[in-house]
Amino acid sequence: MARAAAPDAAAPRAAAKGAPACDLSLPEAGGAGTSQPVNDDNDLGLPARGAALDILTAALARRTGLEEAISTPAFGALSPRDRAFARALAMATLRRLGPIDRALDAKLAKSPPDGVRQILRIGVAQAFLMETPPFAAVATSVDLAASRRDTAPFKGLVNAVLRGLLREPPNLDDPEALPPPWLMARWSAAFGPETALEIAKVIAQEPATDLSVRDPATAQALAAELEAEILPGGSLRTARRGDLATWPGFEAGAWWVQDASAAIPARLLEAGPDQQVLDLCAAPGGKTLQLAATGASVTALDRSAGRLKRLAANLERMGLKAATVTANAVDWKAPDLFDAVLLDAPCSATGTFRRHPDVLWAARPADIASLSETQARLLDATAPRVAPQGRLVYCVCSLEPEEGESQVEGFLARHPGFVLEPIAPGEGGAPAASVRPDGTLRILPFHSPGGTDGFYVARFLRQS
């Protein structure tokens, strides 16, 4: 196959192969799906694509990068349509990053600088995932490269690679290529190759928006207004997109955004009006809202004062009350014992890839070992805070056994005063397929129709 013409003479060389010629989580803005038809390149130009490039770069650089990027003044200054397009383009790229990179590597003699690769990535996503006309996907990617000092010397390369892919469209739907190889290998070892493939298939799917309802008696009416279905356990699922503040029930504090899986652990505590309940690592607060809505006396603890401010604002909007404590959960001296304790521990968050596909690419194998140690310390510090005959629910939004099954095994060995209280199929909305023989939950993303976040949940009872 003939090689493409080299980029500008002064540029470093990264040659193309081939001839020249797309829990209190916010729903993704835009239309009913990720794909955004673009019929006129003048409608959505370089600012929107530049913003998508910035989001993608930040998301791959650090774990909180995506949310930080969409919170910047520069992003907020864009028009609503540009913001929607930029976020949709970045998310589409992240959901198929593995297949996109495989397609690019087949056209590149050697890897270009990171900035150039990012432009190529969003160019591929535009051309094959966003319904952008081919000429616009190429032209705007070349213009974007030309507009930045570090990528301008490579605009010829961008043109050659994207035109080559348009002539030979890549397969961006291979599920085996969707997660990073090391995670796919982990899931195959933990769950078997077939199950790992089923998990991977969900990565490319854009999720609907799940809502938790403050008052279950209003669920039917809210479902009708929001064009939503009522899921097992009581969560609502809607295909709506756009500004949450315009949705029915928002101003009245009738609901909050919370994945259906994330809503299960708090239900399993069976908290009630006469109980003292502790929510550890509570922010951003979806589970705190659930517990407060039961009428229980709730203490919400988190080490981040900023995140607790968000939690307090959510409580105020919902008309609910909880005491908030800023402290490290390991070191905090509890004034009393609690009838029920929820520990939603810090974790690798690999189960949240439906709404946060960047977690798959930001995670590192060493993170899992480090977080596992933190989880064990938190469990040990939590045990003495549970009253006799009280419940402790431990959960993580992770697919990794070291953060779930192994934690339970270790905790029971270290704390013989606790026993597992088995979770029944359907209890709290738990999918029947998720219930393990020991009565814990291993929720996999394909266990519910339409997908759900991956979670591990265990419920303990402290004996007298």
The set of catalytic residues is 397
Q: How many CB atoms lie within 10 A of CB 346?
A: 16
Report the candidate in 173, 116, 112, 179 with the shortest Cα–Cα distance to residue 144: 116
Q: Cα separation of 222 and 163, whole Å? A: 48
CA nearest 453: which of 398, 404, 414? 398
Residue pair 20/163 in contact by the 8 Å Cβ criterion:
yes
Sign of CA dihedral 252, 88, 172, 109: negative
**Across the beta sheet with 255-257, what order do the strands follow?**
228-230, 236-238, 209-213, 255-257
What is the enclosing helix (H) or strand (E) of 418? strand 418-420
Number of Cβ within a 10 Å radius of residue 168: 10
Torsion of CA 198, 441, 284, 50, to 10 degrees: -10
Two tokens at 77? 């200054």
Tabulate helix, strand, coil % of the chain (nearest 5): 45, 15, 40
* SS3 state of residue 197: helix
Residue 136 CB neighbours (<10 A)? 20
Residue 167 has a CB neighbour count (10 Å cut-off) of 9
In terms of Cβ atoms closer than 10 Å to its own Cβ (0-12, 13-18, 19+), residue 232 is middle
CA-based nearest residue to 301, from 274, 323, 321: 323
d(CA 38, CA 49): 12
- CA dist 122 and 100 (Å) reads 9
Tokens encoding 327 = 């402290």
